[in-house]
Amino acid sequence: MKKIMLCVFILTASLVKAQSIVDSISDPSFILRDTVSEKLAEFAVNNYQIMMQKSRVNEMQYEVKKSKAAWLNNIAVTGNLNEANLKSSNTGGQNVFFPRYNFGLTLPLGTFFTKSNDTKIAKEKYNQEVYSLKGQLELLKKAIKVEYQNYLSNKYYIALHESVIQDEKVLLSVVETKFSKNEVSLDAYTQSSKRYNDALIKKVELLKNLNTSKLELEGLLGMKLEEALVRMVSNN
């Protein structure tokens, strides 16, 4: 009798705890969205895909600078020293050709048109990479917020389900006591045991979902969730 009363007491305490969680979630002011996901989204810049895109932006910036200076490659400078090439003994060693020095500068006219367009093309490619970086960053921030919601939801699922497990455990203990006194049938005992085992199986599934959502979130963050939370606190 005392054992049954103890089980009933534990069951009551478990129900109070479960009801507390349910009341918290059912409260109209309860929301999953909070400042944590907003701050975690700022760590999107640590994602490797974003870092690669930043590298491409820098590369295109160098291409623009390279294109601006490329026209210099088409300039050809030539020179000729008449005194060295055209000396004649008939003139008494005197050079009669003027000017004494010849220099030439060659620059294809098309350079002014093609190189200008090449620079414009390089600038457009640079702008495209910049826009792509901004777009990827926004999508990644959104993905981090969504994945954090999944992670947070899974934590609540486990917290709620833990009370279910405790309820089933206490009920099974009560049924076991009654079964030992032939107060309940074997079928009742078997059903109670099955419900408890099913609750444990469900817990394993929920834990798997929690761990998976955590791994997905860390993949987006580019670091461990614990490290991100520590950095988030230290930055405040």
What percentage of the chain has pLDDT greater than the value 70?
Answer: 65
- pLDDT attached to residue 199: 95
d(C-alpha 181, C-alpha 59), whole Å: 81
Is 90 exceeded by the pLDDT of residue 63?
A: no
What does the pLDDT look like over 117-163, one tens digit per residue?
777 888 888 888 899 888 989 999 999 999 998 998 898 898 889 88
d(CA 119, CA 115): 6
The amino acid that residue 181 corresponds to is K
Q: Under CATH, to which class is 2-74+109-235 assigned?
A: mainly alpha
Residue type (1 letter), 104: G
Confidence of residue 193 (pLDDT cuts 50, 70, 90): very high
Which helix (H) or strand (E) is 154 found in, with range?
helix 111-180
* Residue 83 in tokens: 């005194």
pLDDT band at 190 (very low <50, low <70, confident <90, very high): very high
Cα 108 to Cα 67, 73, 93, 99, 116: the distances in Å are 16, 11, 39, 25, 13
Asked which of 33-47, 153-167, 179-193 is least confident by mean pLDDT, the reply is 33-47
How far is residue 65's CA from residue 30's CA, in Å, rounded to a whole number?
54
Tell me the pLDDT band of 14, cut-offs 50, 70 and 90.
very low
Query: Residue 195, Cα to own-chain centre: how many angstroms?
Result: 40
Q: pLDDT confidence of 100, banded at 50, 70, 90?
A: low
In contact, 202 and 161? CB cutoff 8 Å: yes
Using CA atoms, how far apart are residues 189 and 142, in angstroms rounded to an integer? 49
> How would you class 62 by CB atoms within 10 Å of its CB: exposed for 0-12, middle for 13-18, buried for 19 or more?
exposed
Per-residue pLDDT at 9 exceeds 50: no
Bridge partners of 80, per DSSP, are 102
Domain positions in the chain: 2-74+109-235
Angle at 81 between CA 80 and CA 87, to 5 degrees: 130
| Cα–Cα distance, 88 to 209 (Å, whole number) | 97
